[in-house]
Structure formats: C-alpha cells, structure tokens
Amino acid sequence: MAQEDDAFERLKNLPPRGHHALLGIYTVDSGADWAELACPFSPGFLMDPDAGLVSSGPIISLVDAAAGAAIIARTRQWRGMATLDLHIDYLRPARAGHAIHARAHCHHITRKVAFTRCDVHDGDPDRPIAAATVSFFFTDES
C-alpha cells in the first residue's frame, strides 16, 4: 500500500486541529495495531496548582485520541467512528511538569465495534498513571 493511500500514515502527518491542537497532542510512535500519543504539560491542566494535581480532562482526551489512532493503525482505513465506552482506572496522580503519554493497542475489531486497551504514564512506562479500555462503534455502513 502506497503511503498516500495509507490512512494511518496520513493521520500521523496531519497537523493537529481543534481540541488536539489546543492540548498539543502529537504522535510519539506506532506499530501495526498500536499508537502512542503524548501531550505536553501545561499549567492550565492543573486543577489545584498548590498541590500540583493534574486534571483528568487532558488525560481522558489523550486516551480517546490514542485509542482512535490505534484503530486506524490496525485497519489502515478512514472510517467514521465514535467513542462507545471509555473506562479509566487511575493508579496514581500525574506529575505536574511532565508530558503525559498514552499507548493504545487495538486488540479486537468486529464489523461495527473496535476494542482497545491503553496505558498512560508521565515519562516512565513502568510507573503508569492509569489503565484504560476504550471501545468505538463505526458509524459508516461497512
């Protein structure tokens, strides 16, 4: 498949738009059925600046984006899809001042639904912030 026909290669090379641009989300690495995206720290992410607590909003957005990218990495297709379910188990607080990374793996696809798992960390994959599962339903008629 030529790179210009490969939906995931096109996705990786698109400039961030909308919400992703506001958060600064970018691609770190990828494979045949996974994608790792990251979001640089911003002081606006702090829900309690004195305690250095990072809000869950940027983490949720990053997980959702990484999971969608993992699906495109696996299918190599642009398909309309929407988040069906997103569940995050927080394991520890994110550290202020550190970029947040989300590595999602698309482990199963049916005709209408795709399933992913995602690990989130703030610089050390061996010290995760959260673990997530995300499913998407395809909105097209395929």
Q: Residue ranges per domain, the chain?
A: 3-138
Residues 6+ apart with CB under 8 A from 24: 16, 39, 40, 42
The predicted structure's pLDDT at residue 3: 53
Reply yes or no on whether the pLDDT at 12 is more than 80. Answer: no
Q: Can you give the pLDDT at residue 142?
A: 63
To the question of domain 3-138 being in CATH 3.20.20.70, the answer is no
* CA gap 135, 64 in Å, rounded: 9
Q: What's the rounded mean pLDDT across residues 73-102?
A: 95
* Residue 136 DSSP SS3: strand
pLDDT tens digits for range 27-53: 999 999 999 999 999 999 998 888 888
Beta-bridge partners for 89:
131
The whole-number average pLDDT for the span 6-14 is 71
What pLDDT sits at residue 7?
A: 73
